[in-house]
Amino acid sequence: MKCHTCGLEENIPFRCTYCGESFCHLHRNPINHFCPFLNTYTEKRKLLREGNYDNGYSSLGNSIGRSLLRAIKIKSSKTELLHIAVAALLVTAVGLSLNGYRHFSWQFLAMFVSAFLVHELAHKFLAQYYGSWSEFRAQMYGLIITAISALPFMPFKFIAPGAVMVGLTDRNKFGRVALIGPLTNLVMGFSFLISAYLYPYHSYLYAGASFNAWIALFNLLPFGVLDGQKIFDWNKIAWGCAMATTMALFIIAHF
């Protein structure tokens, strides 16, 4: 489909929930495509910031639940849930392909998939904490690469089904949102590593440390649209510390 504003072709376009038109990632927000319902969008965001917008939480039938949801302000959409489900399914297939689909282990698979999901959700939650629109979107070329990696005879595996899109203009906040993803992998990786020393008979714990080290290392590479490039542009010291810590985890987990 083509963006209603600039005509850019998008394999997976963003649909405005106010006017119903389809847009590219640059014009997805109502304020960027001069939405005819911009006043409604602005008023809703104001109410959300003030914590006065119900947003359907009344269906919970519980005032405590509504207060909690408003406090954490986690927002999603059916489109995002669909994209995450497709991405998680392909990531699961990659995990199963590592042993040629011959064996199945819940522990192994849970650690493999969580290394991807927690990373992406960390981006989303921090961006929303800063008041930004933030949702995961699958990308066609990423889905294809991940699907090819799920073939058992492929020697190299790449997991890049999509990414979390954010609408932040503040440089410092944008840098922190980029950094939080690899940091979650480092926390999980070292946690698995410590657990592996405490419980040496559970070999899958080393696998969990290894997976998280790989994902953090890949995302910290300062190239293209990866987190590493955003972090490097924002704060080179933060990038250097994160990369050094990731290399330490990688070396310890593999040797």
Reported as a single tens digit per residue, the pLDDT across 209-228 is 888 999 999 999 998 889 99
Count how many Cα atoms sit within 13 Å of the Cα of residue 2 in the half-sphere of its side chain: 5
Catalytic residues, by residue number, are 120
Q: What is the pLDDT of residue 187?
A: 95
Count of Cβ atoms closer than 10 Å to residue 69 Cβ: 16
User: Strand pairing partners for 134?
Assistant: 166
Using DSSP's 3-state secondary structure scheme, residue 163 falls into strand
Q: Which of residues 124 and 15 earns the better pLDDT score?
A: 124
Do residues 137 and 120 lie in contact, with contact meaning Cβ atoms separated by under 8 Å? no
Mean pLDDT for all residues in the chain: 83
DSSP symbol at 60: G
**Mean per-residue pLDDT for 45-60?**
58
**What one-letter code names the amino acid at 24?**
C
**What one-letter code names the amino acid at 152?**
P
Read off the pLDDT of residues 170-195 as tens digits, 9 standing for 90 and up. 889 999 999 999 999 999 999 999 99
Q: Quick one: tokens of 5?
A: 């504003």
